[in-house]
């Protein structure tokens, strides 16, 4: 292997730049030429591929976003699109790929490998933490801390006005951001797609809180919860109760930006090194993850398809600690 390329794809996540830096420098350290592909699969199809040097990744370790930009490519979903991408890679003599992204990115890489045999190793980069084969994904820790900072601020105003706040956090179909920011922020209720929480249960808990003279209550709603989004749930609770002063805040994309935490920088750097070393050792169609503080490789198949459930004790913690 002489020449490899790196790209970021799907939703950006804080720490992706730290990962790009690690990939670029590990490749150069091993005397491999490294190329950057702009805007994920979209840029691959269009041949937006350029040589990277050690200096190309100076001073990016601490920045959010991705210097390689990101996109969700519709064209790459088609065989024709993937063929164009392969031709571009061949034109640049690329022998292997490092894909930084989430399950959509890995699904694309898996099909691409099956069709064209391009060796690819992935690094899990998504704030959602919904990838099997790694305890944490790049960007998740930063997103949880961003959500937590917002929840702490909401608590100040909620307490001052004796209000109930419904705070919606991201996560697509996963409740990881919700559960950890909820526990860290002392939420009274956390609603996640992984477990059912009915409107009646929410009302019951809020009313108990009122009887216990709680000054405020915070309900964290994961955006993928089966009861709907925070605004819809708040409306249902409002209609069924009297005397609860309710407000809704949706945190949205602020959870995707910002300076990566130390944990994310280190995790991303470790995965970036692991991905290049794996590729050079002949691994392909796998993701470099970290489980129990050990670098492990998991097939794209498992990373995409296997479930990573939220531990039951975390769900129980909210109930115990919010009395």
Residues carrying an active site annotation: 128
Least Å distance, CB 256 to ligand F6P, is: 5
Reported for 28-32, long-range contacts at CB under 8 A and 24+ positions apart, including other chains, are 28/53, 28/54, 30/276, 30/277, 30/280, 32/1, 32/2, 32/3, 32/4, 32/276, 32/280
DSSP codes, 224-258: T-TT--HHHHHHHHHHH-SS--EEEEE-GGGGG-S
- Rounded distance between C-alpha atoms, residue 79 and residue 193, angstroms: 33
Q: Please compute, for residue 144, the number of CA atoms within 13 A of its CA located in the half-sphere on the CB side.
A: 22
Least Å distance, CB 170 to ligand F6P, is: 3
DSSP codes, 28-45: HHTT-EEEEETTHHHHHH
Residue 80, classified by CB atoms within 10 Å of its CB into exposed (0-12), middle (13-18) or buried (19+), is: exposed
Q: Which CB sits closer to ligand F6P, 149 or 277?
A: 149
Kindly list the residues in this chain that would bind ligand F6P in the complex (CB under 6 A).
11, 102, 126-128, 170-172, 223, 256
Q: How many CB atoms lie under 10 A from the CB of residue 145?
A: 21
Q: Which CB sits closer to ligand F6P, 96 or 102?
A: 102
Label residues 283-298 b or e (16+ Cβ within 10 Å = b).
bbbbbbbbeeeebebb
Least Å distance, CB 145 to ligand F6P, is: 15
Q: How many CB atoms lie under 10 A from the CB of residue 86?
A: 18
Q: What is the largest CA-CA distance in the chain?
A: 70
Q: Which CB sits closer to ligand F6P, 76 or 86?
A: 76
CB of 8 within 8 A of CB of 24? no
Least Å distance, CB 126 to ligand F6P, is: 5
Least Å distance, CB 171 to ligand F6P, is: 5
Pairing of strands 33-37, 49-52: antiparallel
- Rounded distance between C-alpha atoms, residue 128 and residue 28, angstroms: 31
């Amino acid at each position: 292997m002489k020449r490899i390329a790196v790209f970021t794809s799907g939703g950006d996540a804080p720490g992706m730049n730290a990962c790009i830096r690690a990939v670029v420098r590990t490749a150069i350290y091993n005397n491999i030429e490294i190329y950057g592909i702009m805007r994920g699969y979209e840029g691959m199809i269009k041949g937006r591929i350029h040589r990277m040097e050690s200096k190309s990744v100076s001073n990016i370790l601490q920045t959010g976003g991705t210097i390689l930009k990101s996109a969700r490519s519709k064209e790459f979903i088609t065989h024709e699109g993937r063929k164009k991408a392969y031709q571009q890679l061949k034109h640049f003599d690329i022998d292997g790929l490092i894909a930084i992204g989430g399950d959509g990115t890995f699904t694309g890489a898996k099909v691409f490998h099956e069709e064209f045999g391009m060796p690819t190793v992935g690094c899990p980069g998504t704030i959602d933490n919904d990838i099997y084969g790694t305890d944490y994904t790049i960007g998740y820790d930063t997103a949880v801390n961003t959500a937590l900072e917002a929840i702490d601020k909401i608590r100040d105003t909620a307490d001052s006005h004796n209000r109930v706040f419904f705070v919606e956090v991201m996560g697509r179909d996963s409740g990881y951001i919700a559960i950890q920011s909820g526990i860290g922020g002392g939420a009274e209720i956390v609603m996640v797609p992984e477990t059912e929480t009915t409107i009646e249960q929410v009302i019951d808990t809020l009313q108990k809180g009122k009887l216990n003279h709680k000054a405020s209550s915070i309900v964290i709603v994961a955006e993928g919860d089966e009861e709907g989004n925070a605004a819809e749930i708040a409306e249902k609770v409002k209609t069924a109760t009297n005397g609860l002063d309710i407000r809704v805040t949706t945190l949205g994309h602020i959870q995707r930006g910002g300076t990566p935490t130390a944990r994310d920088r280190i995790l991303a750097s470790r995965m970036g090194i692991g991905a290049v070393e794996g590729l050079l050792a002949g691994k392909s169609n796998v993701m470099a993850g970290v489980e129990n503080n050990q670098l492990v490789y998991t097939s794209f198949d498992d990373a995409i398809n296997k479930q990573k459930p939220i531990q039951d004790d975390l769900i129980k913690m909210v109930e115990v600690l919010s009395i």
